[in-house]
């Protein structure tokens, strides 16, 4: 919201600097995002009167004597075509800063500092300036658009600073307004806050007008009261379309609006001043001198003022005349009823349209305006009515028409005027704040905020201003009080009345922290990636069409296709991260992520999906499968469990380097090497290994810590060198050894050999087997018998023999 | 005669052991004298040929020799060991500046570190950790938080929708309601998690972390909120850091405040970090709106409460001086490895 200081001063006697006001507004909840200093680039420019003006022969230049009052009479060379004796114009003195323009004298190319110059051998001690050079447009100052000198009134004093004369000493507050204060989306709204914070009275704009009787009635019918709770129309005749006066043009210009003509400017001015969108229809174009507010018919069309045509549906509210839409309600008028130079009669509209309806239509049609923005934020009917009066006053003040007494004010069952009475408890307010604000202070603050206040014992009876629809209960009043009283009065206390509670992570959260620590201790870096990816990422991993990963949840309004699908596996995100690292020249890395996947119970989604955590591990660089397995083994250790690795396959993994991770007979995940075909496609110069584990399944494998007493007798170890067929796995042999004797507590491979000495298609594997005794020691004889059993088991089941 | 032989033997032993330098050759030498076929052993064996009456005397002489030789070899073993050790010290001298072999330590994501630190701070004040779902419905994310369908505050957050009703939560505040529906006061919870907004530019990410805090109990005041935030700010940003409340607006709190901390970089004098203001905005907070309590079946006349919410990335960026939010989601190992615990 942009509020010029000069405009605010119309309503409040502001006796502090712009910077001080900025601070005060900040303190009471209105952050000035930018304090714009109008004319901040302009300095050292004064009023000068040309007292002598001689042409320089053979050029378009004139050499002038310019009386600059206390700055003396200066010789200045000037090329403007309107320089002559007797005029007054801005003089940029030596050292002044003004805008530099291109050869066209129009395009601003930066800021320049005026130096003593010499043109055609004639010394020049300053510069006579145009409007552009001072950043002043014709809307800011009469005649400033002229491509030549900006002429100043003869009433100005020679040597006087031109900035106040040209309105270049102004400030514009660009204020961020919170969503609960739509009433402050206006100059008047801000002025009310300024008045309150400065403790000054507010001078309301003049909303009075005289009307003449007219027999030409106007009919208004509201067929959609839920979308249009209130509609006010007023008939103005004898319109003469003309330019607006300078003061109005300047106001609009300061807020970034271009002046169009008096009628259009009035609607824009009232929107800025009061926050109430206004619309003016050319009444002659309205068939039947009638307004009908209704939902559009499906397929109905409207062409708006900007010459865009829209197909409408019953979701869109339109303002119609006797037979056709004449405006897109709250958004923009129709081209067919536009005010034009020859317009003689008009119908002013001030209405309240439902926020949601305007928002939906504006979004659906992609058609937004200052008006729709205001309706979306919300207008109050007190202001709707006031704004109509203000607009009619301005019609009168600007002399652009005759205000008639034809006034239609349609109130519906959805209409409410806003003013309300409420009672609040002073002690409740103080209890919420935690401090005691003196009752008198409370009353003063509320009065400054335009509340009617009556204090009686602990009760404040309040008349809430009609424009304050946000005020609802005593906490709102508490907020009004504290924001004006000052938050610096709030001192820290430490919940003296609260019950003692026990805080911290719960057991599951602690377990996750422990798991992360175990991974970090394995030299892993934790990553965090987006929860959404593209369906193409699944294609990249060659995930089959019927795989569960393809049953995903889609975002209706994604930022882009890349981020449109809620992920069902973490592997693509891990792979992207690895690819990014390799492309940046990070050739080694060990990464992990614990995050959710989103699994619908049915599609299309009708209920909350399952959000399941996964652990994904990614290794890249000079590593192999056993580095990856080392990480999962460390996890198993941490959880006091063991995993089995069963050769398996995944669409995106190397068929020979892929395993299911099994725990307690259940597949809880996979580990393997990225398929070289995919690596090649992505031009990855390093091997990539990925594992992904179902987090809940993983954590349910954990065994609780339980102390075991040390064995009474020493453990016995035996080494076994075995010969096995090539396709027998280490895991099978380990299992066969452990399974053959209950005293075996550990089986560890320490050597593996393939070659001539063991024969073709055979391999030799050497294991250390540890026996832990029970109640009796394990004698060498006993151990021999266990070994015998183990060997027989091996030979029987796996055709494995002693070497 | 035997004496001569022994003298000769002694001399020879002296001779051959003179230059001995290694334990191994010393052991070999000793073997040559004491081994089965060794000369001293032979002498002992020769005792059989000595006439009985002479045996004690000869035996004495031989024993003396044996003791002498044993002592001699023991002494030599000692000195040789010393020599060898000296040698070892020389040969095994290393370049201590060569690189060490380490099992490297990994690193946590900065967000994890921040969440852990926050939980640590607040759990000391009695806050439990609660995690809600990320795919929420309209009710928990908006309506129950006093943000009905046509509420302008909905525009403050660009929401990702999945269906008309289901959406990606835009705020961890959604979890507040789930807690209050199931738990009656006293409530002190922290709710960290991922939230989503349809925003992607230099300073916004479509996914980011938030941490919500909620207290509901008897007699909770705005001063209590301030006190707790002071404690939080001191612990996370430094003991001299102060907090400042200023009015703001959130539909689910009333009054609502923005909370700034005094700039820990410049001490409040004004610098680049605080954009010259001396203050840094860190979180939003307020007293829980009565309607929100009511909606959860908590009597707002009996209980009051406060809630606060902060961006995890924002805290991480401030704390570690990270200048680009995107770095947190890119997983660049050069970035990650800096965040040792």
Cβ contacts of A34 within 8 Å, gap of 6 or more: A174
Contacts of A591 in chain B (CB under 8 A): 331, 333, 336
Asked if B140 reaches chain A (Cβ–Cβ under 8 Å), the answer is: no
What strands lie across the sheet with A653-663, from one edge to the other?
A: A525-526, A589-599, A610-621, A687-694, A666-674, A653-663, A644-647
Q: How far apart are the C-alpha atoms of A76 and A126, rounded to whole Å?
A: 6
In percent, the amount of chain A with pLDDT more than 70 equals 100
Q: How far apart are the C-alpha atoms of A502 and B334, rounded to whole Å?
A: 39
pLDDT of res. B59: 84
Nearest by CB: B112 against A432, A516, A521: A516
Collapsing DSSP states into helix, strand and coil, what is residue A49?
strand
Running DSSP on this structure, what letter comes out for residue B2?
Answer: H
Asked if B100 reaches chain A (Cβ–Cβ under 8 Å), the answer is: no
Q: How far apart are the C-alpha atoms of A490 and A522, rounded to whole Å?
A: 49
pLDDT of res. A394: 97
pLDDT of res. B157: 60
Cβ contacts of A772 within 8 Å, gap of 6 or more: A711, A715, A743, A745
Say if the Cβ atoms of A513 and B116 lie within 8 Å: yes
Cβ contacts of A641 within 8 Å, gap of 6 or more: A663, A664, A701, A702, A703
Q: How far apart are the first and last CA of chain B?
A: 84
Collapsing DSSP states into helix, strand and coil, what is residue B189?
strand
Pick from A87, A75, A88, A150: nearest CA to A118: A75
Checking phi first, is residue A135 left (phi over 0); if not, alpha (psi -120 to 50) or beta?
left
pLDDT of res. A503: 86
Is the model's pLDDT at A478 over the cut of 90?
yes
| CA angle, residues A617, A620, A622, in degrees to nearest 5 | 135
pLDDT of res. A106: 87
Contacts of A182 in chain B (CB under 8 A): 152
On the question of a cis peptide bond just before residue B245, with omega within 30 degrees of 0, the verdict is no
Contacts of A604 in chain B (CB under 8 A): 163
Contacts of B248 in chain A (CB under 8 A): 29, 178
In percent, the amount of chain A with pLDDT more than 90 equals 90
The 10s digit of each residue's pLDDT in A270-302 is 999 999 999 999 999 999 999 999 999 999 999
Cβ contacts of B24 within 8 Å, gap of 6 or more: none
Is the model's pLDDT at A526 over the cut of 90?
yes
Q: Answer whether A410's CB lies under 8 Å from A222's CB.
A: yes
Tokens linked to A419: 């003013």
Say if the Cβ atoms of A503 and B127 lie within 8 Å: yes
The 10s digit of each residue's pLDDT in A755-802 is 888 888 999 999 999 999 988 899 999 999 999 999 999 999 999 999
Find, in chain B, the residue whose alpha carbon is nearest to that of A489.
B223
Say if the Cβ atoms of B155 and A557 lie within 8 Å: no
Q: Which of residues 198-257 of B touch A (CB under 8 A)?
A: 198, 200, 206-207, 215, 217-224, 226-231, 244-249, 251, 254-257
Mutate to test the interface with A, among B106, B148, B329 (most CBs of A within 10 A): B106
Find, in chain B, the residue whose alpha carbon is nearest to that of A360.
B150
Is the model's pLDDT at B247 over the cut of 80?
yes
Running DSSP on this structure, what letter comes out for residue A719?
Answer: E
Nearest by CB: A523 against B106, B166, B328: B106
Is the model's pLDDT at A262 over the cut of 80?
yes
The 10s digit of each residue's pLDDT in A239-252 is 999 999 999 999 99
A795 burial via Cβ count (<10 Å: 0-12, 13-18, 19+): middle
The 10s digit of each residue's pLDDT in A539-593 is 999 999 999 999 999 999 999 999 999 999 999 999 999 999 999 999 999 999 9
Q: Mean of the pLDDT values across residues B111-115?
A: 95
From B323's Cα to the closest Cα of chain A, the distance in A is 17
| Contacts of the segment A207-212: beta carbons below 8 A, 24+ positions apart | A207/A386, A207/A389, A207/A390, A207/A393, A208/A389, A208/A393, A209/A389, A209/A392, A209/A393, A209/A395, A209/A396, A209/A403, A210/A396, A210/A403, A211/A392, A211/A403, A211/A404, A211/A405, A211/A407, A212/A402, A212/A403, A212/A404, A212/A405
The 10s digit of each residue's pLDDT in A97-120 is 999 999 888 899 999 999 998 888
Confidence of residue B40 (pLDDT cuts 50, 70, 90): confident
Report, in angstroms and rounded to the nearest whole number, the Rg of chain B calculated over CA atoms.
42
Mutate to test the interface with B, among A352, A503, A621 (most CBs of B within 10 A): A503
Asked if B326 reaches chain A (Cβ–Cβ under 8 Å), the answer is: no
Mutate to test the interface with A, among B123, B145, B254, B258 (most CBs of A within 10 A): B254
Number of Cβ within 10 Å of residue B164's Cβ equals 9
Number of C-alpha atoms within 13 angstroms, CB side, residue A338? 14
Is the model's pLDDT at A411 over the cut of 90?
yes
Find, in chain A, the residue whose alpha carbon is nearest to that of B198.
A559
Say if the Cβ atoms of B166 and A608 lie within 8 Å: yes
Pick from A511, A514, A491, A573: nearest CA to A538: A573
Q: Answer whether A769's CB lies under 8 Å from A717's CB.
A: yes
Cβ contacts of A344 within 8 Å, gap of 6 or more: A237, A238, A239, A284
From B96's Cα to the closest Cα of chain A, the distance in A is 25
Asked if B276 reaches chain A (Cβ–Cβ under 8 Å), the answer is: no
pLDDT of res. B208: 96
| Between B50 and B184, residue with greater pLDDT | B184
SS (H, E, C) A492-547: CCCCCCCCCCCCECCHHHHHHHHHHHHHHHCCCEECCCCCEECHHHHHHCCCCCCC
Q: Answer whether A376's CB lies under 8 Å from A182's CB.
A: no
The secondary element (H helix, E strand) that includes residue A62 is: strand A62-67
Pick from A155, A143, A362, A400: nearest CA to A269: A400
Going A39 to A43 to A46 to A52, the CA torsion angle's sign is negative
pLDDT of res. B156: 58
Total residue count of chain B as it appears in this document: 341
Tokens linked to B93: 């001298």
Is the model's pLDDT at A446 over the cut of 90?
yes
Q: Mean of the pLDDT values across residues B283-292?
A: 95
Nearest by CB: A598 against B135, B150, B188: B135
Average pLDDT of the residues of chain B: 89
Pick from A307, A317, A377, A323: nearest CA to A349: A317
Contacts of B257 in chain A (CB under 8 A): 487
The 10s digit of each residue's pLDDT in A62-99 is 999 999 999 999 999 998 999 999 999 999 999 999 99
Q: How far apart are the C-alpha atoms of B252 and A4, rounded to whole Å?
A: 33
Q: How much is the pTM?
A: 0.85
Torsions phi, psi for A790 (to 5 deg): -60, -45
Mutate to test the interface with A, among B222, B281, B299, B328 (most CBs of A within 10 A): B222
Collapsing DSSP states into helix, strand and coil, what is residue B125?
coil
The secondary element (H helix, E strand) that includes residue A459 is: strand A459-464
Find, in chain B, the residue whose alpha carbon is nearest to that of A555.
B162
Say if the Cβ atoms of B329 and A528 lie within 8 Å: yes
Q: How far apart are the C-alpha atoms of A422 and A432, rounded to whole Å?
A: 18
CB pairs under 8 A between A and B: 261
Nearest by CB: B162 against A493, A502, A553: A553
Mutate to test the interface with B, among A23, A431, A479 (most CBs of B within 10 A): A479
Is the model's pLDDT at B3 over the cut of 80?
no
Which residues, listed in sequence order, are joined to residue A175 by a DSSP beta bridge?
Answer: A32
Q: How far apart are the C-alpha atoms of B251 and B150, rounded to whole Å?
A: 12
Q: Answer whether B301's CB lies under 8 Å from A493's CB.
A: no
Is the model's pLDDT at B221 over the cut of 70?
yes
Q: Mean of the pLDDT values across residues B233-237?
A: 93
pLDDT of res. B34: 82
SS (H, E, C) A643-706: CEEEECCCCCEEEEEEEEEEECCEEEEEEEEECHHHHHHCCCCCEEEEEEEEHHHHHHCCCCCC
B203 burial via Cβ count (<10 Å: 0-12, 13-18, 19+): exposed
Cβ contacts of B281 within 8 Å, gap of 6 or more: B258, B259, B260
Is the model's pLDDT at B341 over the cut of 70?
no
Say if the Cβ atoms of B161 and A556 lie within 8 Å: yes
Confidence of residue A752 (pLDDT cuts 50, 70, 90): very high
pLDDT of res. B155: 63
Contacts of A28 in chain B (CB under 8 A): 247
Cβ contacts of A174 within 8 Å, gap of 6 or more: A1, A2, A32, A33, A34, A35, A36
Nearest by CB: B329 against A505, A529, A557: A529
pLDDT of res. A708: 86
Average pLDDT of the residues of chain A: 94
Find, in chain B, the residue whose alpha carbon is nearest to that of A491.
B223
Find, in chain A, the residue whose alpha carbon is nearest to that of B291.
A473
Q: DSSP of A403-428, one letter per residue? A: EEEEEEEEE-TT-----EEEEEEHHH
On the question of a cis peptide bond just before residue A604, with omega within 30 degrees of 0, the verdict is yes
From B9's Cα to the closest Cα of chain A, the distance in A is 49
Tokens linked to A317: 């509210």
Q: How far apart are the C-alpha atoms of A523 and A588, rounded to whole Å?
A: 12
Q: Answer whether B326's CB lies under 8 Å from B223's CB.
A: no
Q: Which of residues 175-194 of B touch A (CB under 8 A)?
A: 185-186, 188, 190, 194
Asked if B137 reaches chain A (Cβ–Cβ under 8 Å), the answer is: yes
Mutate to test the interface with A, among B223, B260, B312, B316 (most CBs of A within 10 A): B223
Using the structure block, give the residue that is written with the tokens 């066969």.
Answer: A736
pLDDT of res. A486: 95
Tokens linked to A377: 């934020």
């Amino acid at each position: 919201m942009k509020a010029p200081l000069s405009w605010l001063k119309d309503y409040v006697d502001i006796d502090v600097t712009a910077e001080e006001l900025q601070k005060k507004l900040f303190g009471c909840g209105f952050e000035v995002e930018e304090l714009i200093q109008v004319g901040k680039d302009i300095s050292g420019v004064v009023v000068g009167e040309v007292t002598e003006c001689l042409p320089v022969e053979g050029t378009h230049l004139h050499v002038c004597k310019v009386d600059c009052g206390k700055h003396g009479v200066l010789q200045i060379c000037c090329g403007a075509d309107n320089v002559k004796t007797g005029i007054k114009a801005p003089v940029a003195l030596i050292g002044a800063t003004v805008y530099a323009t291109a050869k066209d004298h129009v395009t601003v190319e930066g800021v320049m500092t005026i130096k003593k110059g010499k043109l055609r051998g004639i010394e020049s001690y300053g510069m006579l300036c145009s409007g552009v050079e001072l950043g002043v447009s014709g809307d800011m100052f009469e005649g400033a658009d002229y491509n030549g000198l900006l002429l100043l009134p003869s009433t100005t004093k020679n040597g006087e600073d031109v900035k106040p004369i040209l309105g270049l000493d102004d400030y514009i507050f660009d204020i961020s307004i919170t969503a609960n204060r739509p009433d402050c989306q206006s100059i008047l709204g801000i002025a009310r806050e300024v008045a309150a914070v400065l403790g000054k009275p507010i001078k309301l704009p003049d909303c009075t007008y005289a009307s003449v009787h007219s027999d030409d009635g106007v009919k208004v019918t509201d067929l959609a009261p839920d979308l249009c709770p209130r509609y006010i129309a007023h008939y103005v005749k004898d319109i003469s379309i003309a330019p607006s006066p300078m003061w109005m043009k300047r106001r609009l210009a300061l807020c970034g609006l271009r002046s169009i003509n008096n009628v259009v400017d009035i609607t824009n001015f009232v929107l800025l001043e009061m926050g109430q969108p206004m619309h003016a229809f050319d009444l002659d174009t309205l068939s039947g001198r009638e307004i009908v507010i209704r939902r559009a018919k499906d397929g109905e069309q409207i062409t708006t003022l900007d010459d865009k045509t829209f197909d409408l549906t019953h979701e869109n509210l339109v303002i119609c005349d006797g037979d056709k839409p004449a405006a897109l309600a709250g958004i923009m008028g129709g081209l067919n009823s536009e005010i034009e130079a020859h317009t003689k009669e008009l119908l002013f509209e001030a209405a309240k349209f439902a926020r949601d309806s305007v928002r939906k239509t504006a979004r659906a049609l992609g058609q937004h305006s200052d008006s729709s923005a205001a309706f979306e934020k919300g207008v109050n009917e007190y202001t709707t009515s006031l704004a109509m009066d203000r607009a009619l006053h301005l019609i009168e003040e600007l002399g652009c028409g005759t205000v008639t007494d034809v006034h239609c004010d349609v109130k519906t069952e959805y209409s409410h005027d806003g003013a309300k009475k409420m009672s609040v408890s002073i002690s409740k307010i103080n209890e919420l704040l935690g401090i005691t604000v003196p009752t008198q202070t409370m009353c003063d603050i509320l009065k400054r905020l335009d509340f009617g206040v009556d204090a009686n014992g602990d009760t404040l009876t309040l008349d809430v201003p009609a424009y304050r629809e946000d005020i609802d209960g005593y906490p709102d009043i508490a907020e009004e009080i504290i924001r004006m009283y000052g938050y610096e009065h709030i001192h820290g206390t430490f919940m003296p009345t609260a019950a003692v509670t026990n805080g911290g992570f719960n057991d599951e959260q602690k377990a996750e922290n422990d798991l992360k620590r175990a991974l970090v201790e394995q030299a892993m870096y934790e990553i965090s990636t987006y929860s959404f990816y593209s369906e193409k990422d699944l294609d990249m991993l060659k995930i089959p069409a019927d795989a569960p990963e393809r049953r995903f949840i889609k975002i209706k309004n994604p930022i882009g296709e890349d981020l449109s699908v809620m992920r069902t596996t973490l592997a693509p995100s891990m792979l992207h991260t690895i690819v990014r690292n390799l492309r940046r020249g990070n050739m080694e890395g060990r990464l992990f992520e614990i995050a959710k996947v989103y699994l619908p119970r049915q599609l299309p989604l009708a209920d909350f999906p399952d959000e399941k955590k996964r652990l994904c591990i990614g290794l890249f660089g000079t590593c192999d499968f056993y580095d990856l397995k080392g990480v999962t083994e460390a996890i198993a250790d941490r959880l006091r469990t063991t995993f089995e690795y069963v050769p398996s396959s995944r669409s995106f993994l190397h068929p020979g380097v892929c395993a299911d991770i099994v725990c307690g007979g259940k597949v809880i995940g996979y580990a393997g090497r990225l398929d070289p075909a995919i690596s090649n496609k992505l031009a990855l110069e390093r091997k990539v290994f990925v594992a992904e584990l179902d987090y809940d399944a993983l954590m349910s494998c954990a065994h609780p810590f339980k102390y075991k007493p040390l064995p009474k007798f020493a453990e016995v170890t035996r080494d076994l060198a075995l010969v096995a067929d090539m396709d027998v796995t280490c895991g099978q042999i380990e299992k066969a050894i452990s399974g053959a004797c209950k005293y075996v507590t550990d089986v560890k491979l320490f050597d593996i050999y393939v070659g001539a000495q063991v024969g073709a298609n055979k391999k030799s594997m050497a294991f250390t087997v540890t026996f832990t005794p029970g109640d009796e020691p394990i004698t060498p004889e006993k151990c021999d018998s266990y070994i015998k059993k183990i060997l027989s088991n091996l030979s029987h089941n796996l055709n494995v023999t002693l070497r | 005669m035997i004496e001569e032989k022994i003298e000769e033997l002694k001399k020879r032993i002296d001779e051959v052991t003179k230059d001995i330098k290694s334990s191994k050759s010393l052991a070999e030498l000793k073997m040559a004298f004491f081994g089965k076929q060794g000369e001293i052993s032979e002498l002992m064996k020769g005792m059989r040929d000595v006439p009985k009456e002479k045996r004690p005397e000869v035996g004495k002489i031989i024993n003396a020799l044996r003791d002498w030789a044993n002592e001699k070899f023991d002494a030599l073993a000692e000195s040789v060991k010393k020599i060898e050790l000296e040698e070892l010290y020389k040969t095994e001298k290393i370049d201590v500046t060569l690189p060490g072999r380490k099992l490297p330590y990994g690193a946590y994501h900065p967000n994890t570190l921040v969440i852990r630190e926050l939980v640590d701070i607040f759990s000391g004040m009695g806050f439990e950790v609660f995690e809600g779902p990320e795919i929420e419905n309209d009710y928990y994310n908006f309506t129950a938080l006093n943000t009905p369908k046509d509420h302008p505050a909905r525009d403050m957050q660009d929401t990702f929708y999945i269906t008309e009703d289901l959406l990606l939560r835009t705020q961890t505040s959604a979890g507040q309601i789930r807690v209050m529906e199931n738990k009656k006061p006293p409530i002190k919870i922290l709710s960290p998690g991922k939230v989503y907004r349809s925003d992607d530019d230099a300073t916004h990410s479509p996914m980011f972390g938030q941490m919500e805090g909620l207290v509901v109990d008897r007699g909770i005041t705005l001063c209590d909120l301030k006190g707790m935030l002071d404690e939080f700010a001191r612990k996370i940003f430094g003991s001299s850091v102060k907090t400042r409340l200023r009015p703001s607006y959130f539909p689910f709190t009333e009054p609502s405040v923005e909370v700034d901390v005094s700039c820990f970089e410049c001490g409040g004098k004004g610098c680049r970090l605080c954009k010259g203001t001396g203050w840094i905005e860190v979180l939003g907070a307020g007293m829980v709106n009565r309607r929100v309590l009511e909606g959860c079946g908590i009597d707002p006349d009996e209980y009051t409460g406060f809630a606060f919410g902060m961006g995890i990335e924002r805290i991480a960026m401030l704390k570690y001086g990270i200048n680009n939010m995107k770095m947190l989601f890119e997983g660049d190992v050069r970035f990650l490895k800096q965040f040792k615990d």
